[in-house]
């Protein structure tokens, strides 16, 4: 029953799904097939339906109320997040495209959430770009990341996401591009692998606003002659700080949580990806035993 995989996955986030969403995140070729599978799962008491939502056995009606509240909050926050994304693209040197990721990209937001931005930089300038954005956050926003969480950067010359699993595929297909159509078009072309998980997702992108400013051009010309030095320097300073601060983590964990190269910078100290995949596999095991299903273990 392919329809169960998205329901089990999103149950980790206490996120009940509606029919169209279940089909969107499934491998089924038609929504009719998804409907039939859901009806079969309900008859077997694997799923239950409340209003327009379908819930796996881990969730209760409270999850629906929470999702509706967070959906409403997200609508209010989205406008501000889009403005911030355009601000980042317009004024910060070496930013080539900006997208909204995280919980907000899935239409949910709460008091503890951050507005996460996925940033694509120009070639050979990722660490310079990252440092300028982090410095702006620390100095002018008093280190508040509520509406300025910049924790994932990739370079335009290396757009393929290395980790190919359900977690990264979900983040990729729910990403909301805000600026620069051509760069995001290339990004999706380099990550066609996500369709192995979500074939019903159209990875094309509509025409996007592309704000720019003379200040950005001035700053790029100012920093460009020094980027060879600044890239090495800022990367060394940042990764050394992470290494000391998170010395309790193993090298394998750091490799995923703090991916750091000339073309990617990821700062996820909670190693959320691994936690989610591990929890998903636990739930698969429970469903396999309880309902005689055959979900295969997934890997982070």
| The predicted structure's pLDDT at residue 216 | 92
User: What are 238's two structure tokens?
Assistant: 């940042």
What is the token pair recorded at 61? 């009606």
| Residue 119 confidence (pLDDT) above 90 | yes
239 contacts 113 by C-beta, under 8 angstroms? no
pLDDT for 222: 87
Residues 25, 30, 36, CA angle at the centre, nearest 5°?
90
| pLDDT for 253 beyond 80 | no
**Residue 134 pLDDT exceeds 80:** yes
Calpha distance 97→181 (Å, rounded): 8
Per domain, the residue ranges of the chain are 4-59+286-291, 70-269
Three-state SS at 263: coil
pLDDT tens readout for residues 56-95 = 988 999 999 999 999 999 999 999 999 999 999 999 999 9
**Global confidence as pTM:** 0.93
Give pLDDT tens digits for 8-55.
999 999 999 999 999 999 999 999 999 999 999 999 999 999 999 999
Q: With bands split at pLDDT 50, 70 and 90, how would you rate the model's confidence at 271?
A: confident
pLDDT at 259: 84
How confident is the model over 169-178, as a mean pLDDT?
A: 96
pLDDT tens sequence across 146-164: 999 998 999 999 999 999 9
pLDDT (0 to 100) of residue 255: 74
- The CA–CA distances, whole Å, from 158 to 27, 50, 195, 264, 265 equal 28, 44, 19, 8, 12
Which pLDDT does position 128 carry in this prediction? 95
């Amino acid at each position: 029953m392919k329809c169960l995989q998205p329901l089990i996955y999103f149950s980790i986030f206490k996120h009940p799904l509606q029919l169209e969403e279940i089909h969107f995140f499934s491998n089924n070729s038609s929504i009719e097939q998804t409907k039939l599978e859901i009806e079969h799962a309900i008859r077997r008491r694997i799923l239950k339906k409340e209003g327009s939502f379908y819930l796996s056995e881990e969730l209760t009606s409270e999850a629906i109320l929470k999702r509706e509240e967070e959906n409403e909050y997200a609508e209010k926050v989205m406008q501000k997040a889009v403005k911030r994304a355009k601000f980042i693209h317009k004024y910060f040197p070496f930013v080539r495209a900006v997208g909204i990721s995280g919980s907000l990209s899935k239409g949910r937001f709460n008091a503890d959430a951050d507005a996460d931005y996925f940033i694509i930089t120009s070639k050979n300038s990722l660490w310079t770009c990252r440092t300028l954005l982090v410095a702006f956050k620390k100095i002018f926003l008093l280190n508040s990341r509520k509406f300025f969480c910049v924790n994932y950067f990739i370079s335009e010359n290396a757009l393929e996401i290395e980790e190919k699993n359900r977690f990264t595929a979900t983040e990729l297909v729910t990403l909301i591009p805000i600026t620069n159509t051509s760069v995001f078009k290339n990004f999706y072309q380099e990550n066609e692998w996500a369709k192995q998980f979500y074939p019903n997702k159209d990875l094309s992108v509509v025409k996007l606003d592309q704000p720019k400013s003379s200040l950005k051009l001035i700053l790029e010309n100012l920093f460009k002659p020094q980027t060879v030095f600044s890239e090495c320097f800022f990367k060394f300073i940042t990764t050394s700080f992470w290494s000391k601060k998170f010395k309790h983590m193993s090298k394998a964990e750091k490799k995923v949580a703090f991916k750091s190269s000339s073309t990617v910078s990821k700062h996820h100290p909670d190693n959320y990806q691994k936690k989610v995949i591990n929890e998903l596999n636990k739930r698969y095991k429970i469903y396999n035993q309880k309902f005689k299903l055959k979900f295969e273990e997934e890997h982070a």
